[in-house]
Chains A and B, each alone.
Chain A
Amino acid sequence: MSDKTFTDRLAEQAIQMLPAEQYTGAALGKHTEAEVARWRAVAAKANIALD
């Protein structure tokens, strides 16, 4: 994500760039754990289930 031509092309589509440290594998791992927890709460509140 350090190629400005490439990221500019994504930004033209309103795709939102992140701070550099958030692209790493470690950051993705933490984000995944946080999202799994977040959606558990959302699904319980909204009573969503798919099977």
Chain B
Amino acid sequence: MIDIRKLAARALLAMSFAAAAHGVSAQTYPSRPVTWIVPFAAGGPTDALARAIAERVARELGQPIVIDNAPGAGGTVGAAKASRAVPDGYTMLVGHMGYMGAAPALYKKLAYDPVKDFAPVFRFPDTPLVLMVRKEHPAKDIKALVDFGKANPDKLFISNAGVGSSSHLIAALFAASAGIRISQVPYKGAGPALIDVIGGQVDGIFDQTNTALPQIKEAKVRALAVTSKVRLPQLKDVPTLGETVLPGFEASTWYGIYSPKGTPQAVLDKVQRT
């Protein structure tokens, strides 16, 4: 027979331990390395930006931040893993527009809720994207590319960093807005997706500025448009999509740090202050 009093006592004890553990971690946090889950492969734009910011935050926190690359299913695998982590501030998620913004609309079954299962900690700066084509592509400007897409449904091959990546989502948004049908070619990360544009195996890509700029400067690809609201100082001759073929169009990759729901507020506050 179940002893209700014993069960209640055990539950109370477990809650006391959990509360105590959180209380201690809030006061002494962080007393050991912190893990940031990056749900994309190492070397891509999300990983690069996360590492740059992690290095800066770690200096403020006084403990290393370990990057745990957990790719798969457009970042949803890593996000689900983060949602199940102990909410003690030692495991956080580098969130991204794909798996923290678009995923609930794109997947019928999602193992987490970006709003209900996480506590938002702080946001990163935004990263716009650049639409680039292979050097030999006949389209010399963005209008010509849209015209090419209208005249050749499904014949404009656009690579992306994987299903659910910002390069995938923004290409879909661009195609829908421009009224063209493109063929999306998913790769395992932005690096190989861009390499095949340079090599001419595919026509183009929407890539983030932090990884695209070096290729544009070396003239390995042709930049046709940027997705930001205004032109970028580094690419003054490259128009925005909004000022050319898609008035009002604006999209950037956004990121933020999230902690599993239930993380003590004092811990969140400490990370936010960095």
The answer to whether A50 and B123 have CB atoms under 8 Å apart is: no
Specify which chain B residues have a CB less than 8 angstroms from the CB of A26 in the assembled complex: 120
Q: Which of A10, A14, A42, A44 contacts B52 (CB 8 A)?
A: A10
Closest to A49 in B: B106
Q: Interface code B134-170, partner A: CB below 8 Å = 1, 0 otherwise? A: 0000000000000000000000000000011000010
Closest to B177 in A: A46
Closest Cβ–Cβ distance, residue A47 to chain B (whole Å): 8
The answer to whether A31 and B254 have CB atoms under 8 Å apart is: yes
If A14-B210, A25-B268 touch, whether A35 touches B100 (CB-CB below 8 Å) is yes
The answer to whether A50 and B209 have CB atoms under 8 Å apart is: no
A interface, over-half SS? helix
The answer to whether A15 and B115 have CB atoms under 8 Å apart is: no
The answer to whether A50 and B100 have CB atoms under 8 Å apart is: no
Closest Cβ–Cβ distance, residue B6 to chain A (whole Å): 40
If A10-B125, A29-B120, A31-B254 touch, whether A43 touches B97 (CB-CB below 8 Å) is no
Docked complex Cα distance between A46 and B182 (Å) = 12
List the 4 shortest-distance A-B pairs measured between CB atoms, nearest first: A35-B101, A14-B209, A46-B176, A28-B120
- Mark B residues whose CB is within 8 Å of A: 49, 52, 56, 74, 95, 97, 100-102, 104-109, 114-115, 119-123, 125-128, 163-164, 169, 172-173, 175-176, 209-210, 213, 228, 232-235, 252, 254, 256, 258, 268, 272
Interchain Cβ contacts under 8 Å between A and B, 29 examples: A9-B52, A10-B125, A13-B210, A13-B213, A14-B127, A14-B128, A14-B232, A14-B235, A15-B209, A22-B123, A25-B122, A25-B272, A28-B120, A28-B121, A28-B256, A29-B115, A31-B256, A32-B100, A32-B114, A35-B102, A35-B254, A36-B101, A36-B114, A39-B102, A39-B169, A42-B176, A43-B105, A48-B172, A51-B106
